[in-house]
Amino acid sequence: MIKQTFKNLKRQNRAALALFITCGDPDIKFTERLAEKISQCGADIIELGVPFSDPMADGATIQEASNRALASRTNVGMILDMVLRLRARGVKTPFVLFGYFNTFFQMGVDNLARRSKEAGVNAWLVADLPIEESGEVLPHLKANGLDLIALASPTTPLERIKKISKTGSGFLYYVTVAGVTGARDKLPEDFAKRLEEVRAASALPVGAGFGISNRESAHAAAKRADCVIVGSKIVDLLYKTRVQFGEDKAIDEACEFVKSLSSAMNRQ
């Protein structure tokens, strides 16, 4: 499904818009409403963040969201059940289960891969799983028709990017800045040049994430990347709006934000 999404968008000369949300913040019912709504408002791919107590790649915004989700006792099984319900209601947007290996390992990699397929998940992204250690995961994903989204950073050598992209599938998640997740005012100065090099080296479509926070930076990324990934900004928007105005308003605001980003995905 992810491969077909990129094919369809390429014909339209558009980049894909991927949104990261923390599942269970503040509870799974809210997440389910949110996922369905943003799928209708322009999200081409939805990354379902699995809460974890030590999300080392994430900045304060997503760490705090993960803590709130853990407080609501959200777990990966609940997330899969949510995906199953969304699929039953006709939501077709590709879902990426995004988390850390410890959480995936606890359920059993083979069991989780099977259940992911049954629920309607399309891919995994395991933030702390180096490609050299993916042998424990890949056979189970392939057996269940799931993609493994691999990560690359500004310091990843181009030869390694070639290797990573041939091992992973779906798309290559390129982290645009060194460090942890978090909304930033602008993209790095060498962003365009580096992304051009990464796309040339990668056998997969390239998604640009970490730091993209508004329509302007999203459009700049869309002109260079195959996919634009937004996480911290929407997580922060949801939390602040929900606390001040309630859940319905938070979901409405998230929808408007997604619409504004989607309108910036034209690559011209």
Question: Is residue 166 in a domain?
Answer: yes
Q: Which residue in the list 25, 36, 47, 236 is annotated as catalytic?
A: 47
Q: Which residue in the list 44, 58, 147, 226 is annotated as catalytic?
A: 58
CA distances from 4 to 16, 59, 89 (A): 11, 32, 21
pTM of the model: 0.94
Structural domain boundaries, residue 176 = 2-261
Number of domains in the chain: 1
Q: What is the pLDDT of residues 83-134, one digit of tens each?
A: 999 999 999 999 999 999 999 999 999 999 999 999 999 999 999 998 899 9
Candidates 237, 239, 240, 235; CA nearest to 19 is 235
**CATH value at residue 238:** 3.20.20.70
Phi, psi (5° rounding) for residue 106? -60, -35
Question: Is residue 175 in a domain?
Answer: yes
Q: What is the pLDDT of residues 174-220, one digit of tens each?
A: 998 754 444 445 566 778 888 999 999 999 999 998 878 899 989 99
CA dist 45 and 246 (Å) reads: 26
**47 catalytically annotated:** yes
Question: Is residue 235 in a domain?
Answer: yes
Question: Is residue 196 in a domain?
Answer: yes
Question: Is residue 64 in a domain?
Answer: yes
Question: Is residue 266 in a domain?
Answer: no
- 53 burial level (CB within 10 Å; 0-12, 13-18, 19+): exposed
**253 catalytically annotated:** no
Residue that the structure tokens 């990261």 belong to: 20
Question: Is residue 232 in a domain?
Answer: yes
Question: Is residue 268 in a domain?
Answer: no
